[in-house]
Amino acid sequence: MKIIKKPSALQKNIEKLRLEGKIIGVVPTMGYLHEGHLSLLRIARKKCDVLVLTIFVNPTQFGKGEDLDRYPRDFKRDLSLARKEKVDFVFYPSVNDMYPNSYQTYVINKVISKKLEGEFRPTHFEGVTTVVAKLFNIVKPHIAVFGQKDYQQAQIIKSMVKDLNFDVKIILAPIIRESDGLAMSSRNVYLSLSERNEALALNKSLLLAEDLIKKGERNCKLIIQKMKNFISKNKSIKIDYIKVADLSLSQYLKELKNNTTCVILLAARVGNTRLIDNKIIKIGSK
Amino acid sequence: MKIIKKPSALQKNIEKLRLEGKIIGVVPTMGYLHEGHLSLLRIARKKCDVLVLTIFVNPTQFGKGEDLDRYPRDFKRDLSLARKEKVDFVFYPSVNDMYPNSYQTYVINKVISKKLEGEFRPTHFEGVTTVVAKLFNIVKPHIAVFGQKDYQQAQIIKSMVKDLNFDVKIILAPIIRESDGLAMSSRNVYLSLSERNEALALNKSLLLAEDLIKKGERNCKLIIQKMKNFISKNKSIKIDYIKVADLSLSQYLKELKNNTTCVILLAARVGNTRLIDNKIIKIGSK
């Protein structure tokens, strides 16, 4: 496993491997790896010859007052986990190598980035699309694996790939949850014991919605209201949003249609920790 | 020479050629080729195995009320000229294939795009960087040749390549001028005979500035004032700007320093036709 810090050095290595006909796969992360990240590495490992893990706590996707400085980091532990997943390259650039002083170019999604997370973190996705575009140009991957936990991010990246004609296949990997159902996130370490316990209501509310839909409920306002009622029993949780949307996030849904698929997305602050979760739900016939 | 309209078809062709070790060169244009474009093709032809000419009148780089609809087009003539320059692929996409209905991702320069042209055409460079990023991902070139006539555009693209880590070498090709000195432009066809004649003052004012600098003038305000006085003798010309800047366009200059290089840039409307021109000037010792 090679650890590479300089963008141009990785790019040269990869270009050589591409010329040899190797299939390149990438899993972009901010490090502090958990089972969710490892599941992405395992999926990518099966589909490529050369597996690249990128670890970069990207400052441009944090807003003012967000948790950039206290975002958890443990590079040594990440390396040992990466070795176990048979990663070939770890790309670990410095902020200055990614954003030198003269930096001035940004990749911006102007539509679906404005919704959901975009209403609460207005500059977040601009940072995401910019850094992922950079990583795609540095790593030159054939495939890239992203987690469904960041569903909106994955859709925005899919749009970017299609719109800007990146020759990269995006794979969306399922959410990995703790045994009690909490979606895995590097930010879960911020939670106190009691917050950790209350946070379970988020996943449970999605299961509740799924159950309601299975039983024939089609009115999204009602589904959302019942989710809110359920979550609000937990005093330390403040809901930012709960929305039902089509899979491309092009519109919020009011009424579910039989034999379609929707996604329910939510964000909430549990104490000082902001968590997101979502569930893709296939709607049967009544 | 192959003519390809579908982005994905060209991308597949090129990817195959890259795997064979071929060096790919691209010259992006809006068509209606003149000697300026042909000079770019000749420079690229010498440096690559596979030469791609792109012809696309890119709607996103035209502002409201600009000349998108009347922009001159002559595809058949362009093809015959391309054949003479031994172009391998002509990429000639439709607007719908480049910007389908769901389109939502833009590449934006936030610094030097605001100056000069950006003050008069505020959405122009966003269209340029977006389409060039798309073309780079479709054509996957090793080298790309741009003309110095659009100096600010070339600097913005160089910034984009550096910032977003595109593995593309940008070559800046000298301005090609008519025998009387007018910088070649597809828009020159808009000029009436008398406007065509008055337009010569633009290049002549740049030569005047060069001469002043050669004779020891170092005060940019004075140089610009003399250029304005010279141009303003022509009644059909309205100057949008004349600026002296460092080569990266990071700052306008007030005082020239010996043994440095500057660029003087100007834009003017000649009747209803907006023209730009510039000159890179090496400053000697007094």
Number of Cβ within a 10 Å radius of residue A228: 13
Name the burial class of residue B257, with classes exposed (0-12), middle (13-18) and buried (19+) by CB atoms within 10 angstroms of its CB: exposed
Q: What is the pLDDT of residue B139?
A: 98
For the stretch B138-164, pLDDT in tens is 999 999 999 999 999 999 999 999 999
Q: What is the pLDDT of residues A227-285, one digit of tens each?
A: 999 999 999 999 999 999 999 999 999 999 999 999 999 999 999 999 999 999 999 99
Q: Do B7 and A165 touch (CB under 8 A)?
A: yes
Could you tell me where the DSSP H helices lie in chain B?
Answer: 7-19, 35-47, 75-84, 95-98, 117-120, 124-139, 151-163, 193-198, 200-214, 220-231
A75 falls in which pLDDT band (50, 70, 90)?
very high
What is the secondary structure of B41-88 as a DSSP string?
Answer: HHHHHHH-SEEEEEE---GGGSPTTSSTTT----HHHHHHHHHHTT-S
Query: CB B137 to CB A103 under 8 A?
Result: no
CA distance A29 to chain B (A): 18
Q: Hey, are the CB atoms on A7 and B112 less than 8 Å from each other?
A: no
* Res A77 pLDDT > 90: yes
For position A124, what pLDDT does the model report?
97
**Which residue from B minimizes the CA distance to A164?**
B134
pLDDT at B57: 97
Answer whether residue B197 shows pLDDT above 80.
yes
* Contacts with B103 from chain A: Cβ below 8 Å: 163
**Sequence-distant (≥ 6) Cβ neighbours of residue A119 within 8 angstroms:** A241
CB A169 within 8 A of CB A142: yes
**What's the pLDDT at A66?**
93
Mutate to test the interface with B, among A123, A136, A153, A165 (most CBs of B within 10 A): A165
What per-residue confidence (pLDDT) applies to A118? 97
* B191 to chain A, closest Cα gap in Å: 35
CA separation for the pair A52, A73 (Å, rounded): 19
In the predicted model, what is the mean pLDDT of residues B208-225? Answer: 98
Cα-based distances in Å from B116 to B243, B252, B270, B277: 8, 10, 17, 12
Distance CA B179, CA B89 (A): 31
Distance between B178 CA and the closest CA of chain A, angstroms:
35
**Span B152-181, mean pLDDT?**
98
Contact flag A137-B250 (C-beta cutoff 8 Å): no
**Exposure string (b/e) for B173-197, b if CB count within 10 Å is 16 or more?**
bebbebeeebbbbbbbebbeeebbe
Taking 90 as the threshold, does the pLDDT of residue A153 lie above it? yes
Query: Measured between CB atoms, which of A15, A104, A109 is closest to B109?
Result: A104
Q: Which pLDDT band holds residue A226 (cuts at 50, 70, 90)?
A: very high
Query: If DSSP codes are grouped into helix, strand and coil, which group holds residue A265?
Result: strand
To the nearest whole Å, the CA of B278 is away from the closest chain A CA by 23
Q: What structural domains does chain B harbor?
A: 2-173 (3.40.50.620), 186-282 (3.30.1300.10)
Closest among A268, A272, A264 to A240, alpha carbons compared: A268
- The amino acid occupying position B152 is Q
Q: Is the pLDDT of residue A156 over 80?
A: yes
Tell me which chain B residues have a C-beta less than 8 angstroms from the C-beta of A60.
none
Q: Say whether pLDDT at A200 is over 80.
A: yes
Distance CA A257, CA B177 (A): 63
Residue contact A137–B167, C-beta within 8 A: yes
Q: Say how far apart CA B273 and CA A127 lie, in whole Å.
A: 39
Q: Which among B26, B49, B104, B110 is the top mutation candidate for probing chain A, defined by the most A β-carbons within 10 Å of its own β-carbon?
A: B104
- pLDDT in the model for residue B286: 73
Q: Kindly determine whether residue B103 and residue A163, on different chains, have CB atoms separated by under 8 Å.
A: yes
Contact B140 A167 (CB under 8 A): yes
pLDDT at A286 over 90: no
Cβ proximity of B219 and B255 under 8 Å: yes
The answer to whether the beta carbons of residues B15 and B50 sit under 8 Å apart is no
Number of alpha carbons in the 13 Å side-chain half-sphere of residue A237 = 26
Q: Which residue among A11, A19, A107 places its CB closest to the CB of B21?
A: A19
Mean pLDDT score across all residues of chain B: 97
What single letter denotes the amino acid at residue B251? Answer: Q
| Helix-strand-coil split of chain B, %, nearest 5 | 40, 25, 35
Q: How far apart are CA A1 and CA A90, in angstroms?
A: 7
Mutation target vs B (from A101, A163, A249; most B CBs, 10 A cutoff): A163
Summarize pLDDT for A57-67 with one digit per residue, the tens. 999 999 999 99
Do strands B105-109 and A105-109 pair parallel, antiparallel, or not at all (unpaired)? Answer: antiparallel
A-chain residue closest to B12, CA distance: A167
Q: Is the pLDDT of residue B90 over 80?
A: yes
Contacts of B110 (CB under 8 A, 6+ apart): A104, A105, A106
Residue among A19, A134, A165 whose CB faces B138 most closely: A165
Comparing CB atoms, the residue among B11, B104, B109 nearest residue A112 is: B104
Average pLDDT, chain A: 97
Q: What does the pLDDT average to over A112-117?
A: 98
- pLDDT digits 0-9 by tens, A12-23: 999 999 999 999
Alpha-carbon gap, residue A239 to A218, rounded angstroms: 22
The CA-atom distances, in angstroms, between B244 and each of A161, B264, B274, B278, B286 are 39, 4, 19, 10, 19
Residues of B serving a catalytic function are 37
